[in-house]
Amino acid sequence: MTLIDYIFNAEIGKIKIDVSSSCNADCIGCYSHAVEKDPTKKLPLEIIERVLEEARELGIKQLIIAADGEPLIDQDYFFNVIEHATQIGVESIVYTNGSLITPELANKLYELNTSLLVKRNSMDHQRQNEMLRADLSERMLQWIHNLVNAGFDYKRLALESFVSKVNENDLDDVLRFCRANN
């Protein structure tokens, strides 16, 4: 199963679980600002594991982690969920802003056969930071390169963009970056 299958094949059985409502960005256009959140409240891992196992018995093949925040904020919790999914044969697809992906994490995510959708709204650092409302653009770009260096390509890595008046003329550059990095 590839990232292309996830994006274009509507018949794939999947389950979405949020693992964090904490975030190190405050992106314009993010729906999570619409509700009040408590980042200290998380489902116990035992419940997530049971839900994943029951979902797998029902034919679910993919776990989508598209958190109300940045899923890699609590890496121990995140990797416990991903590792359990992998152990029971469920592929993981993770939406992330990419700002916390060190070379070590990139390698670990690759080894766990995880696919990623990483936020990139502009290749211009100032506009990217304006959309994030955080100074993360340069780090995010470097850490996208960490993923490519770990072996991620178009089958398991995609960039996700939010389009607004701030970046409406920048998407060609994002696309060129994607093509240049496979």
Render 100-119 in DSSP notation, one character per residue.
Answer: T--HHHHHHHHHTT-EEEEE
54, 85 Cβ separation under 8 angstroms: no
Task: Give the pLDDT band (50/70/90) at residue 47.
Answer: very high
- Quote the strand ranges of 31-178, DSSP E: 62-65, 91-96, 115-119, 157-160
Task: Give the pLDDT band (50/70/90) at residue 80.
Answer: very high
Backbone angles phi, psi at 160, to 5 degrees: -115, 135
pLDDT digits (tens, 9 = 90+) for 144-158: 999 999 999 999 999
pLDDT at 116: 97
More confident residue, 93 or 6: 93
pLDDT at 36: 63
